Chains A and B, each alone.
Chain A
């Protein structure tokens, strides 16, 4: 069956360091992958989308990579700040499906 795994339930890092979150998937061939941020009590907010033919995408301090051979996406936040503390979700589109499949998320805490 199809599965999405995000590397860890929780990740703590020091302010200023780079946070790296991992999303692995099996039995998928997604056309693209999305990353969302979710704060407590709020709905997810879209951050970045990367297509299967793209290796890397950047937006300000965010960088996403997509390796369709390894079936993995890495999400990086450089120069992390306490305001980056949130849960980050990866989501995959499956060709022909009408919905996104979401991972369970990684809760990131940036320690001042």
Chain B
């Protein structure tokens, strides 16, 4: 595809429900990142996938958060038992670099609102 896509663009859910957010990275990009951006805050790193290596989960804020990347392409971020403080824009980015860091290409984000 032309760029990173994310779905849904907006998600409103009730406290306690589970949500799944999807990211389709740029074809051929081996690295995939999830970030969270709260109102007035910088981007907060959540998780990083690189090829077939074990993901770096060091940024996940709690065990309610998990992510998968299937077939080295599409990724799903799952938030279980959502809380109001989970409300934010969730951004996915992909990168072509095999080692180290390179330019990251971001999707448009999913705006999550937990009521």
Contact = CB atoms under 8 A, between A and B. Distances in A.
Partners in one complex: yes
Decide if the interface of chain A is mainly helix, strand, loop or mixed: strand
Contacts of A21: none
A50 interface: no
Contacts of A44: 43, 91, 104, 106
Contacts of B33: 99
The range of chain B's interface size is 20 to 34
Q: How large is the interface on A (under 10, 10 to 19, 20 to 34, 35 or more residues)?
A: 20 to 34
B105 A46 contact: yes
Given A46-B103, A103-B42, A104-B40, A98 B108 contact: no
Contacts of A89: 42-43
Interface in A55-112: 89, 91, 93, 98-105
A6 to B, nearest CB: 9
Q: Which 4 A-B pairs have the closest CB atoms?
A: A43-B106, A99-B45, A102-B43, A104-B42
